[in-house]
Amino acid sequence: MCSSSAMFVLAVAAAAAADDRPTARQLAVGIEAGLGVAVQTRLVWLEDAVQALRNELAELRSEQPSAACAQRPEVAVDDCIAMKATGDSCAVAKRAGCGLVAIRKGGYSATEARSVGYTLAEMEKAGYVEGLKAAGYTALEMFQVGYPVAEVKVAGFVEGLQQAGYELLDVRAAGYSLEEVRAAGYSCTEMKAAGFALQEVVAVGFSRSEIEQAGYTLQDAKAAYSCIEAKEAMGYSCKEAKEAGYTLVEIKAAGYTLEEVSDAGYTLTEVKEAGYTLEEIRAAGYAALWARGRRPTVGDRVRIVRGDGQGSEATVVQDYRDSEPYKLSGGGSSGSWYKESAVQRLPLHEGLKAAGF
């Protein structure tokens, strides 16, 4: 039978051959046996063994809660705060029995809570809001577990709100900006249905075709803009500006040309009333415009070339644009309806005279 001394000699020899040191147990046997290993060497081995034990103990402690979480909620929160302050992980707090509410109030983030297995539904019940986007959740997931849009905004979500199913009226009430509403995926049609004004949808960059498809009208444009603003923001023609209800004075101030004014169907009388001068008419080459043969319309002075009052001059007072569009006033007209071929617009010089120039 080998003695303790012999066993230690063999262990030391094996350790030396393996370029290793004896374990703490082997060292203890050697020290007890009092063999002839240098005292200094044995002390070095002993220090190494003690340090290894300390490291193992520290590792074990790091995996254990620094305290057990109390049952009373207010005390549990204090315990979680203390654990967070001492560097305990969220996993440690969970193993210690802390509830998710206490974990949240203790300062553990949504990312930490998610990493240890808590679901979004559990976090919603525990009151988590901030940090959910950073934790990797989407607007759709927020909607599915019942987060209201006001909390979704606090959490920092913008993209995907429309696809997630949040109502635009709620999004608007939550305080999202116009730019955020557009970025969230809502269409121009949805914005109109939610009560957004024309200038608001124009401001976030919807095209004219999108605006018209959404149902905004020329009258909406007039309510939202001055004539010059409508021209610049929407690109309206003079004819569209007229249909919207802008006066010729406003149209003139917006910079539409006399050619555009003529094409829009304004009469010389209206042109004069809007403040255009004879010099402006001449400078615009209005004679050439007049000669292009625009059909007469309401307000124009015409000569009756066929029917009652033939040869006399009258004013168009109604224009239904059908087979007998015109009703005339003055000049021997009988109040009957006239075909377009039955009347003729006066030459420019006569039209100017009739308009009061």
Query: Which one has a higher pLDDT value, 272 or 11?
Result: 272
Report the pLDDT value the prediction gives residue 68, as an integer from 0 to 100: 54
Is there a domain that residue 132 lies in? no
Name the domain boundary from 56, 73, 98. 56
Rg (C-alpha) for the chain, rounded Å, is 45
**Where does the pLDDT of residue 148 fall: very low under 50, low under 70, confident under 90, or very high at 90 and above?**
very high
Report the pLDDT value the prediction gives residue 314, as an integer from 0 to 100: 87
The strand order across the sheet containing 326-329 reads 337-338, 326-329, 313-319, 301-304, 343-345
283 and 345 part of one domain: yes
282 and 335 part of one domain: yes
105 and 164 part of one domain: no
289 and 349 part of one domain: yes
Percent of the chain with pLDDT over 70: 75
Show Cβ contacts of residue 184 under 8 Å, excluding neighbours closer than 6 positions: 158, 159, 160, 161, 162, 166, 171, 176
> Rounded mean pLDDT of 45-49?
69
Report the pLDDT value the prediction gives residue 1, as an integer from 0 to 100: 47
Look at residues 110, 99, 98, 112 and name the one whose alpha carbon lies nearest to residue 67: 98
288 and 355 part of one domain: yes
168 and 198 part of one domain: yes
Between 30-39, 69-78, 112-121, the lowest mean confidence (pLDDT) is in: 30-39
> Rounded mean pLDDT of 282-291?
60
Quote the mean pLDDT of the chain.
Answer: 82
| Rounded (5°) CA angle 97-102-105 | 150
Look at residues 52, 48, 6, 49 and name the one whose alpha carbon lies nearest to residue 29: 6
Between 175-179, 188-192, 351-355, the lowest mean confidence (pLDDT) is in: 351-355
Under DSSP, the state recorded for 303 is E
Question: Do 131 and 115 meet the contact criterion of CB atoms below 8 Å apart?
Answer: no
Is there a domain that residue 209 lies in? no
Look at residues 323, 325, 326 and name the one whose alpha carbon lies nearest to residue 315: 326
Q: What is the pLDDT of residues 196-250, one digit of tens each?
A: 999 999 999 999 999 999 999 998 999 989 999 999 988 899 999 999 999 999 9
Residue 117 has pLDDT above 70, yes or no: yes
Number of helices followed by number of strands (H, E) in the chain: 25, 5
Amino acid at 349: H
Report the pLDDT value the prediction gives residue 257, as an integer from 0 to 100: 86
Is there a domain that residue 276 lies in? yes
**Boundaries of domain holding 161:** 138-202
Is there a domain that residue 158 lies in? yes
175 and 151 part of one domain: yes
117 and 142 part of one domain: no
Question: Do 111 and 134 meet the contact criterion of CB atoms below 8 Å apart?
Answer: yes
How many whole angstroms separate alpha carbon 49 and alpha carbon 29? 13
Please state whether 311 falls in left (phi above 0), alpha (psi between -120 and 50) or beta.
left
Is there a domain that residue 168 lies in? yes
Q: What is the pLDDT of residues 18-43, one digit of tens each?
A: 545 555 555 555 555 555 556 666 66
320 and 237 part of one domain: no
Between 67-71, 179-183, 327-331, the lowest mean confidence (pLDDT) is in: 67-71
Q: What is the pLDDT of residues 323-340, one digit of tens each?
A: 889 898 887 777 788 898
Element (H or E) spanning 329, and its range?
strand 326-329
Name the domain boundary from 76, 99, 127. 127
Report the pLDDT value the prediction gives residue 112, as an integer from 0 to 100: 96
Report the pLDDT value the prediction gives residue 64, as an integer from 0 to 100: 52
Report the pLDDT value the prediction gives residue 119, as an integer from 0 to 100: 96
How many whole angstroms separate alpha carbon 309 and alpha carbon 328? 10
Question: Do 128 and 152 meet the contact criterion of CB atoms below 8 Å apart?
Answer: no
Is there a domain that residue 80 lies in? yes
Number of domains, the chain: 5
Question: Do 184 and 158 meet the contact criterion of CB atoms below 8 Å apart?
Answer: yes
> Rounded mean pLDDT of 113-136?
96
Name the domain boundary from 194, 228, 256. 256
90 and 165 part of one domain: no
Query: Which one has a higher pLDDT value, 129 or 354?
Result: 129
Residue 293 has pLDDT above 80, yes or no: no
Is there a domain that residue 111 lies in? yes
CA torsion sign, 266 to 269 to 274 to 278? positive
Distances in whole angstroms, Cα of residue 101 to Cα of each of 98, 118, 146, 177, 190: 8, 12, 18, 32, 38
Report the pLDDT value the prediction gives residue 332, as an integer from 0 to 100: 73
**Where does the pLDDT of residue 305 fall: very low under 50, low under 70, confident under 90, or very high at 90 and above?**
confident
Q: Which residues of 130-165 are buried (b: 16+ CB within 10 A; e: fewer)?
A: ebbbebebbbebbbeeebebebbbebebbebbbebe
143 and 175 part of one domain: yes
Report the pLDDT value the prediction gives residue 274, as an integer from 0 to 100: 87
109 and 196 part of one domain: no
